[in-house]
Structures are given as C-alpha cells and as structure tokens.
Structure 1
Amino acid sequence: MGLSWGRAVPSRWRALPPAVWLLVAARTVNRLGAFTLPFLAVVLVDDFSVPVQTAGAIVALFGVATIPSRLIGGLLSDRIGHRATIVWGLTLTAVFQLLLAAAPGVVTAAAAAVLIGLSFEIYEPPSQALVADVVEGDRERVAAYGLYSAALAVAGVLAGVLAATVGGVDLRLLFVADAVTCLGCATLVLVGLRPRRGGHEPEDRASAPPAVVRSPWLDPILIGLLVTGTGFAVLYLQLEVALPLTLRADGIQPSLVGVLFAVSALVIVLGQPLVVRGPLTRLSHFAALAIGFLVLGVGFVLNGVAADLPGLIAATAVWSLGDLVLLGHASALVAAIAPAASRVRYMSVFGISWGIAATIGPLVGTQLIAHLHVACTWWVLGLLCVPLATAQPVLAAVARRSGRVIARS
C-alpha cells in the first residue's frame, strides 16, 4: 500500500499538461528570489535612517497595495490574455525592485515599495486560472495545485539559504536578486508558453463565449470562501511573525526557524498522496477544507505546548498537513465553482485574502504576543481555526441549495 501511494503522486504529476509544469518551473524560479520583503523594513531603517514606525507604515502600504494588485491581474487577463498578463506583471515587479535597490532617498524607496505591491500579485490570478483551464478533472486539479504548492514550499527553503548568502554582502542586493528571478520567470513564460497555431493562447478554449457569466462579487459561495480564506491567510502569516518569537521564548536560536520551514516543505512534498489518492479524495472539497482547518489548529496548539526543538518539529509536521490540504483544495474549489469565462476574476477576488492578511496579519500576531504569553498566543490561533472549519459545511449547504453540487472526478 505504501509503495502504491509513493507511485501515485508522480504518475498524476507526469500526466499533467506541459503548461502546468512550465508554470510550476517559472514560479519556482520566481520564488527563489522572493525573500526581500522581510528585509524591507530593515533596509528602510538602516540605509535611509527611517524611524521604525515610519518603516512599518511603508511596509503596511505595500501590503495594502497588493490587494488591488490581484484585481488588476484579473482585469488584465480578460483584456490581453493570461500569458501577456503574467509577463507584464513580473516585468513591472522587476523594474520596481531595481528602483528600490537604487533609490537615492526615502521618498523614492517608499514609492517603489508601493509600486512593487501594485504589481506583485498580478501574476497569480492568470497563472492559477491557466492551471484550471488546461487541467481536466477535479482530482487532477487538486494534484496540479498540490504540485504548485509543493514546488513553492521547497523553493521557499532554498530562498532562505540564498537570502542568507546575498544579504550578508548587501541587503539591497536582495532586491536585485529578486528582480533577476522575476525576469527569469517572465522569460520562461514568454518563451515556453507559446500561443497555439493561429495565434491562440493555451487558455483560449476556456475563453470562448460562455453559457454562464457570473460576477464573483455576487457569488455567496465565493464570498464565503474569501472570508475563510482570509482567516487562513492571517493565521498562516503568524508562522512568519510568531514562530521566530516562540523559538526565542523557548531559549532556541530564532534562526533555526529555517529548520522548521524545511520540515514543512518536506511534509508538503511527501504528503501529496493524501490529497490525490488518499481517503480525502472521497470527501467533498468543503469537508476536506474543514478537516484541513482542524488539523492546522491542532498543529498551532502543539506549537504552544512544545518546549524544545523536537516538539516544535512535531508540531510543524502536523500544521503542515493542514496546510497541504487547505492550499490544494481551496484553489481547486474556486476553480470548480467559477464559470470558465469568469475563472480568472474568481481567482483574483479570492486571492485578495493574502493582501488583506499581509496588512493586518503582523498586527494580529504582535498584539497577541504583547498581551499573552507565546504559548497562549498559539492556543488562541489554534482555536480560531474551529470557526473556519465549521463554516465549510455551511458553505456546502449554500452550494446544495443553489443547485451547484461540486462533484469530485
């Protein structure tokens, strides 16, 4: 049984269309350089002598700017196509990263940070919609989004190593490196994701005149997923905020958080059979998401209980399993409920959850830690997963009442 599970993921991944593999490869290259944002405040304080409060406000402006960035990506995709939108979004991000790296003063640096935010997420809606367009079958979409998440998790660990190397020379070089990876990602998409004969892009079969067009803002299921997705994003970002502080409180070197993120990446890669062939495949997306939230909550509580690095590693394995289920099924569910012609807009609306979380997430984590012990903070974060889990059967009931049964194929 273990052997068959081990073979299940590669076989499903090998069956994915070349366009999916290209997007995964391109996004992995891009992710290798996406380590600059945690250092933005440091650069503002050290290089431009900006007060910490002002640096925090600029970083918050970046987070706010990422919210319309997703919507811009959806609008552009409808007008110029997925491929062109991806390339333009990445190119603009690279240009603004270089502007920040060469900024002569704080005003230019702040403007560049906001411009990066406005272009930063343009890539995501068309890339996620393209995956849904070229992959047939709901289970295959879960596998495709699982591959996407696994690649990003591994690349994120490697990005941390690269950041430690480059950042040791000059923190501004981090933004140059990020710009280079953005351009590398854009080049892969531009060269590899070629239009079909007759000038049609790979997604054009989903862009044909649709039988149904639905505004994402008027879809109660999507709005419900946006609310719970924002909750997940806020909780997930606490791993970047609260986890290093937890290590310090436990007398562990905070830099060892990289070990925990490496464990998480390993769990996400090795755990893929759970979402493509395991018992979860017999459940609806809503049921799988409910389980994912509960597992995530248990892992967060274990973060608070753990008193040493082995305990935190065990907790990381648990919350990473929840993360694995949530990331794969959430994207596949949004793709399943969206009419083909509205898919990229659905993805862009759902994706603004990360922009909202980037704005309020750091405030949530730091305020909790300021008023509670780190252990109590993780208990609170774990308990917040419960209402997110209980919301899923409510959304499933809404879907059934509206006649939109999300089949698993």
Structure 2
Amino acid sequence: MAGDQPIFTVLSDVELKGEGHPEGTGAARTAASDNESGIFSGECELCEEHQAELDWFCASEQKLICSHCAIVGPCRGHAVTPLSTRVSTVRVCEVCVSFGTGDELRGRAREQVLAQVSAAREALEEEEQRLLEEVQREEERVEQCLLTQRAHWKQALANLSQTRSRLVHTLTHTPDSQLAVREAEGVGEPCDTEQLNLNPTCSDSRLLRGLWATAVLLGQNGETSYFKFDERTVGPLLTLSQDLFTLTFTNKKSRQPCAYDPARFDSWPNALGSQALSSGTHCWVVDVGQSAAFKVGVCYASLERKGSGNGARLGYNSQSWVLSNYDGDYSFCHAEKKVPLQVVKKPQKIGVLLDWPSQTLLFYEPDSNAILYSITQTFTAPLLPACAVTDQSITIVHK
C-alpha cells in the first residue's frame, strides 16, 4: 500500500533506534513530521476490502487496517492498536529523541542529584564544625568556672577547719567561768537569755551544748553504733525484716498473730533495740524515708510492754524520750509533755546521739549535722534504742 511505508518507517525507526541507537534518530524525526499531517487530516486511503478508513495498525502484519479487518477480517486475533494511540507513541518518542536518550536523561538527573547532595553535605559539615567550636568554647568556660569555684571552696573549707580547731581547743582548755562571763565596757551587765545561759557554772547553755554536740559528731567521723531490733519486742501491726533492721507498718487485715512473749508490746506498734547502753558515747541513724508517723529515741528496759495505756506508749511516760513526727508535726516527747520543734526541711534520716558520761541525749539530721533537739537528763538505768511507726517503714542504717 502506497500510504503504509512512511508510517512503517517512523514506527520502526523510533522503536528500534529511538533509544540506544542514536544513528536512527534523525530519520525517525523527519519521517514522523512528514506523515503526521496526512494521518490526522483524513487524506489516508480506504481499506480495499471494506472501504473503511485505515484507522488501526496491525503489529503482526506491520500494516494499516480498518476496524472491520481487526474484528472480522484477516487480522482478527492479531496484535492491533488504534492508530491514534500509535501516533501518540510516536510523539512521545519524538520528545525523547529531541531531549536525548533515556541514558542521557538519567545521567543528567543523577548529576543534578549528586550536586545537590554534595552541597547539602558541605552545608551540614560547616554547621557541624560551627557547633563543635561553640561546644568547645562553652566547655572551656564551664571548666574555668569550676576551677575557680573549687579553689574558692577549698580555701573556705580550710578556713572553717581552722575555726573549728580553735573552737574545740577553746572549749576543752578554757574554764567554764571564763567562757560564760566576760566584762563588756559600755554594754552593761551580762544577763541570761533563752539562747545562752551566762551563769558562771554554765550548766545549761544551749550554745555551748550545741558546740559540744557538733564537736562530738565531728569526732565520731561518721561512725555509728551497730544496732538491730529485738524481734521479741516487736508490737502488733508491725513486721520485722529478716536482717532485723526494718520495721514496716501493716494494717489489721494482714496482721499475723504473734506468739506471747513477756518482752513483746501487745498494743502499741513499738520495737526496742537489742543492746542496752550504760556507758560511753553512742550514735545511730534511722532512715525514716517518706513515713509520716514515727517515733525515734530511747527508753528504760523496764518500760511496760502490755496494755494500751500510757505506761507502754513511747514519750508518754517518765521512762522514754523520743523525737516524734505525726504528719509533719515534729516534737520532743517525754512524760506526756511535748516540745514543738521547728524543722525547716523534712529530714529523710534522724540521728540519735547518747553521751552517757555527760548524760546528754541529742537528736540531729545526719546529712548536715544540724541539731534538732538536745537534753541533759540524769539516767538511772541502762537505756535501749526505741522506735515506733504507723506509716510505711523505718530502717536502722549503718555506714
């Protein structure tokens, strides 16, 4: 057919040489431009057999056919394509030929992507270097500040140590009368105050007692006496850990019946230490944690153990001395009398110091050695560590 050859030339050139065959691109472009106008203008020939427009292409026969040939004619069952679709393919191929082959396009795109990645990498490296330099400058500044602070506190600690040594020397080598009474020109006669007793005997000076207590605690060097709870004394609503250091409050439902023992408290949730104290200086620490209700102190071994009266209640008789906390209300309790205590920060631990030679009992905060309360008392019998708890747990700790 006279009109077939130009179309065949275009299709074969584009399909077989359009990509990967650059030698055919010029011919393909020329053939496509020469024949597209004829195809779309309706000037193509009619099918000789059916007298219908040749608007289909048979890939099997490699020729133009009409729709009747494709459906009921000799090309039925062959691979046929509408001519409009085929021409679109030709145009796409022309675009590809105009802008380069697929390999060329991929190469250009790859070069653009690599260029962008390279630029991004360089920017990130520059930013990283800037941040590293900034961090290094900050580290040097902080290090210098720390060195300055360290030198300052080292000097301050040395000054405090010298002051402490002088105070201890003064307290241990100066008579009480010289410590308490001094002449003051233009000030008037010295008088007693609530903070400092200026009597020549100095038997009840809070200031001197606090200085003495601080010196004793520092002299202990963090050493504590080794105590455990006596499991025979543990009262109801309490459980004792296997190591005998921790008391835990339990409710009535989980309470386990206790065997009778004359040493056991049968009503109050008390427990006593296993070692009696009647000489020397002893201190121990009780970790009260988050407990909101506890008592820590000492008592005579003769303290009552049975009944719910005050005779067996710590702090409510003449045989026990305890620091008590109930829901943030701290107080010193003895013989049914309470002395309210001003506690600025809730202590996590309570320290107890008993100095038998001076008959002094002192309660303190171990982390800061702050004195919470102290008392001088004539003890007539050996003392036992005593505790009570009605909220969570308390534990005797040892360094």
Bin the TM-score by the shorter chain: under 0.3
Q: Give the TM-score normalised by structure 1.
A: 0.21
Q: Give the TM-score normalised by structure 2.
A: 0.22
Taking CA–CA contacts closer than 8 Å with sequence separation of 6 or more, which of the two structures ends up with the larger relative contact order? Answer: 1
Which structure features the higher share of helix residues? 1
Which structure features the higher share of strand residues? 2
User: Which structure has the bigger radius of gyration?
Assistant: 2
